Amino acid sequence: MMQLHLHLLSDSTGETLENIAKAALAQYDDVETMRHFWPMVRSETHLERILQEISQNPGLVLFTLVDRDIRRTLESRCRAMGLPAVAPLDAVNHALSNLLGQEAKARPGRQHTLDAAYFQRVDAIQFTIAHDDGVGEEEWEEADIVLVGVSRSSKTPTSIYLANRGYKTANVPIVVESPPTDTLFSLKNPLIVGLTTSADRLVQIRRNRLLSLNQHPETDYVDHDAVAREVSFARRMFGDREWPVIDVTRRSIEETAAAIITLVNERNLAKRDK
């Protein structure tokens, strides 16, 4: 397996660079990537420390830096070390500049300006954390989305991802011995989405979870027949209530969240058309 040192330098949070790097690396197999993440690079002194680390762990350098002096220093030093230094947003900015007839604003992290959307995300994250795993049912009506599913069906990580996209998300576990309260079935505002997965996959995930906690992995929690009954019970509940269902067996968190956002948009569009 090939090893790659990947250095990500940003004058802001670096979120954009991380997403670009993740998308690009997904196209290659058998690559072990050691990521070196350097956010908030806004001074020559800071850059100098980073360059020392890069020289000790040479590899690909990706950067989003608007300060011309810092950028020039980075590019010059990388050339001297024989390392590629790539600014992945340059081509996009150049095309936009030509089309719009104006220069880009050289402001670090301008996409993260504290606007209404930023505060919406903060509120969504706070709400979602406070309403994880069935907590705070008296406020579920305030949610944009409520995810329901059996234990380890990716409810929490999907909720957090949706919250980062600005959606207030609660999640509720489905337990055969202790079904949800009537509050869940009387909700009007949130879109309720059922998450399901195959029993085989669920047993594997739960068994790994127990082993990571140093707990005995031979209980009803991982018994295949018991898990299959759980999944069937949840599916019947989703069907009886006509809630949309997403099978997460072969989906990443991002794919599941994207499907849910599509459902939200379709629902909002249908409401506007009425």
> H helices of 101-151, where?
116-130
Strands 31-38 and 60-64: unpaired
Which residue positions form the known binding site?
149-156
CB-hemisphere CA count at 13 Å for 260? Answer: 34
What phi, psi does 232 have (nearest 5°)? -65, -40
Domains (ranges, CATH) in the chain? 2-111 (3.40.50), 116-273 (3.40.50)
List residues bridging with 170 in a β-sheet.
146
Q: What is the pLDDT, as a whole number, of residue 99? A: 86
Q: What is the pLDDT, as a whole number, of residue 2? A: 86
Q: What is the pLDDT, as a whole number, of residue 175? A: 95
Which residue positions form the known binding site for ADP?
149-156
**E-strand spans in 95-234?**
145-149, 169-173, 191-196
Q: What is the pLDDT, as a whole number, of residue 78? A: 96
Would you say the pTM of this structure is higher than 0.75? no
Q: What is the pLDDT, as a whole number, of residue 109? A: 54
Q: Which residue ranges in the chain fall short of pLDDT 50?
A: 112-113
Reported as a single tens digit per residue, the pLDDT across 79-100 is 999 999 999 988 888 888 888 8
What phi, psi does 93 have (nearest 5°)? -65, -40
Q: In whole angstroms, what is the distance from residue 49 CA to residue 34 CA? A: 18
